[in-house]
């Protein structure tokens, strides 16, 4: 019975296909023969319209799968199976687990297909969110570039301030310049820029962070330097009073400079030796004056050859020594003013005659005292240097 039904259905489909093919071939041949007049073209359009109507009416019937679905055995359509023992159709039994499994499989396949389509779409086309993120990233990169330019400009301006500080301000106040190793020193130890390596523009952000840290450090050093310069400027009056700027022996007294700062023949060893001060020859008990304001840090007999000596700390890195004195007129801890008596000239210690050995220290280094004598002209200085060559050394 089933075979007969299928045979009839198959014969009917073949007949319909043959009829459709014949009709379609006739219309095509007529189309090929019709090319001349306008009326023939109108007839051709009408025939094509009839062909479209025919296709719309028979398209559903020509579908073999749908035709088979509607005309197949109702037992199969309702999921019945033939029982060989009872010789009857029985409804197919399906467990709940199988139904849930089939449903889960369908959901899994649907989700996989949907996810794949979504990924394919996102890889080909840009979403509004990706467009917004890209614009935001471009804006951030532009801001980073602008900040880097501002930092570079600030560092150039700071460099000019550092040059003025080292070459002008600190020179005026006779202070050492700040070395570049201190000004350019940065943050040491662990890598503080490790957190930027995972970002998209890691190189640009790391460079900006390093520039900001260096700018901050250099600004801090320059701020401290300006604090020092400001303090020196506020204390300039005290500095001028404290600086050893006069001769320790009055210019009205009868004295001579017998030895100046530099190499000369030692009167004891007869060998050339560095003389670290200036020797003033005069009468016994000639008054000796402090060359600047300060505090007496030593007033006693020295065992190192200076005899009775006084050392005055003037502040700002300056100290003075008055040696070989016959008598001390101050004691340790006394505050002295410029021009105040500190002792009388003598010949104590390692000395060959009555004189004063005078030294000037700046930041613990001996310097030429005659460079600070404001009461001595350049011509007088040159004459003194020439005359000392004719006088024997006294210490």
Short-list 306, 264, 256, CA closest to 282: 256
Model confidence at 366, in pLDDT bands (50, 70, 90)?
very high
Overall average pLDDT of the 269-275 stretch:
86
Q: Name residue, tokens 């037992």.
A: 75
CA distance 178 to 106: 78
Higher pLDDT, 71 or 114: 114
Domain 245-388 has CATH 3.30.470.20: no
- The pTM score is 0.49
Q: Is the pLDDT of residue 297 over 80?
A: yes
**Least confident stretch, 229-238, 244-253, 264-273, 374-383:** 374-383
pLDDT average, residue stretch 335-362: 93
The mean pLDDT value of the chain amounts to 78
Q: How many angstroms separate the CA atoms of 54 and 66, rounded?
A: 19
The two three-digit tokens of residue 364, written as one number: 């613990």
- Reported confidence tier of residue 65, pLDDT bands at 50, 70, 90: very low
User: 30 Cβ partners below 8 Å, 6+ apart?
Assistant: 44, 47
Helix (H/G/I), strand (E/B), else coil: 55: helix
The Cα 72–Cα 66 span in angstroms is: 10
- Asked if residues 208 and 151 have their Cβ atoms less than 8 Å apart, the reply is yes
Specify the pLDDT at position 198. Answer: 77
Tens of pLDDT, residue by residue over 204-256, are: 888 888 888 888 888 989 998 888 888 877 777 888 889 898 899 987 777 78
Query: What pLDDT, on the 0 to 100 scale, is given for residue 98?
Result: 79
Tell me the β-bridge partners of 91. 80
Cα torsion angle, 289, 295, 297, 299, sign: positive
Q: pLDDT at position 346, please?
A: 95
Q: Percentage of residues in the chain with pLDDT exceeding 70?
A: 71
Average pLDDT of the residues in 332-354 = 93
Q: Is the pLDDT of residue 75 over 80?
A: no
């Amino acid at each position: 019975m089933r075979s007969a039904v299928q045979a009839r259905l198959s014969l009917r489909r073949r007949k319909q296909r043959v009829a459709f093919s014949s009709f379609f071939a006739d219309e095509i041949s007529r189309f090929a023969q019709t090319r001349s007049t306008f009326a023939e073209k109108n007839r051709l359009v009408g025939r094509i319209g009839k062909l479209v109507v025919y296709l719309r009416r028979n398209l559903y019937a020509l579908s073999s799968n749908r035709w088979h679905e509607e005309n197949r055995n109702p037992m199969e359509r309702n999921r019945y199976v033939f029982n060989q023992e009872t010789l009857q159709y029985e409804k197919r039994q399906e467990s709940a687990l199988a139904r849930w499994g089939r449903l889960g499989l369908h959901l899994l396949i649907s989700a996989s297909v949907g996810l794949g389509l979504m990924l394919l779409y996102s890889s080909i086309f840009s979403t509004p969110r990706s467009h917004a993120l890209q614009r935001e990233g471009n804006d951030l990169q532009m801001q980073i570039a602008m900040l880097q330019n501002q930092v570079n400009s600030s560092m150039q301006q700071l460099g000019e301030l550092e040059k003025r500080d080292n070459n002008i301000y600190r020179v005026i106040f006779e202070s050492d310049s700040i070395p570049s190793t201190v000004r350019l020193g940065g943050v040491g130890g662990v890598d503080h820029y490790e957190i930027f390596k995972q970002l998209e523009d890691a190189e640009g952000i790391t460079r900006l962070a390093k520039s900001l840290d260096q700018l901050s450090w250099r600004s801090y050093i320059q701020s401290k330097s300006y604090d020092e310069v400001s303090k020196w400027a506020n204390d300039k009056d005290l500095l001028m009073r404290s600086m050893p700027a006069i001769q320790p022996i009055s210019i009205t007294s009868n004295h001579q400079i017998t030895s100046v700062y530099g190499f000369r023949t030692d009167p004891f060893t007869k060998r050339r030796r560095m003389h670290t001060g200036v020797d003033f020859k005069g009468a016994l008990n000639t008054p000796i004056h402090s060359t600047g304001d300060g505090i007496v840090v030593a007033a006693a007999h020295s065992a190192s050859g200076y005899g009775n000596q006084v050392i005055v700390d003037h502040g700002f890195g300056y100290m003075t020594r008055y040696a070989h004195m016959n008598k001390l007129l101050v004691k340790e801890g006394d505050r002295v003013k410029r021009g105040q008596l500190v002792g009388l000239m003598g010949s104590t210690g390692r000395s060959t005659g009555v004189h004063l050995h005078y030294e000037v220290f700046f930041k613990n280094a001996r310097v030429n005292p005659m460079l600070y004598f404001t009461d001595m002209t350049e011509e007088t200085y040159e004459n003194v240097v020439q005359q000392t060559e004719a006088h024997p050394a006294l210490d």
